[in-house]
Chains A and B, each alone.
Chain A
Amino acid sequence: DAGVTQSPTHLIKTRGQQVTLRCSPKSGHDTVSWYQQALGQGPQFIFQYYEEEERQRGNFPDRFSGHQFPNYSSELNVNALLLGDSALYLCASSFLAGAPEQYFGPGTRLTVT
């Protein structure tokens, strides 16, 4: 039973560039949430996708956008990268009508220079 997978593992970008991160949920899960974890901090909720729609959004600017595909996988896009966007980006999956816990992937470490 495959768990949550994310790609790439690491990424280095320059300020002003755009980046796309990818996530495949755990088998049987239909909901994907994205979190940003700055160094030494707890994860902060970015947004959540279900049925290919954004269902809930945290306090992040419109530069952060996402997408969910019919196979439930998801992408996180960040435009006009800032130095402050450097962080670990975590994807979590869950089953909307099922148990409340979310299962996390290994994360993508984004460094903006």
Chain B
Amino acid sequence: AQTVTQSQPEMSVQEAETVTLSCTYDTSESDYYLFWYKQPPSRQMILVIRQEAYKQQNATENRFSVNFQKAAKSFSLKISDSQLGDAAMYFCAYRSAKGTGTASKLTFGTGTRLQVTL
């Protein structure tokens, strides 16, 4: 079974600064997807970024980028130029890519609460 670990329960960053959230995972599979989701106090889970395991290039979405280290099974999220609206719970999630078109669940970590201060 796959597991996802987020070892930072809480992080704090000043507005306009950069912060990195950590995530490690355990799997015996070679083909999979990794995601970062953001959950603000409104509760709705919002997709931030996606990484395919077969891609060596790290994914980037505007101010959000990842550092994907497949051998180390590490998947960190870097938020640049932090904004007040970035304050939320951030969840790392794993999804198997086994079999095209087959059902596949998301396995989540326990989350990191990010505070953004002025």
Measured CB to CB, the residues of A under 8 A from B are 31, 33, 35, 40-45, 48, 50, 55-56, 58, 88, 90, 92, 96-97, 100-107, 109
A-B pairs under 8 A by CB, number: 62
Whether A42 contacts B47 by the Cβ 8 Å rule is no
Cα distance, A96 to B103, chains bound together (Å): 7
Whether B105 contacts A56 by the Cβ 8 Å rule is yes
Q: Among the listed stretches B37-45, B67-75, B79-87, which one makes contact with chain A, having 4 or more residues with CB under 8 Å of it?
A: B37-45
Whether B44 contacts A105 by the Cβ 8 Å rule is yes
Whether A106 contacts B101 by the Cβ 8 Å rule is no
Whether B91 contacts A56 by the Cβ 8 Å rule is no
Q: How many residues of B contact A (CB 8 A)?
A: 26
B96 to chain A: closest residue by CB: A100
A-B residue pairs in contact (CB < 8 Å), sample of 5: A40-B110, A48-B103, A48-B104, A56-B105, A103-B47
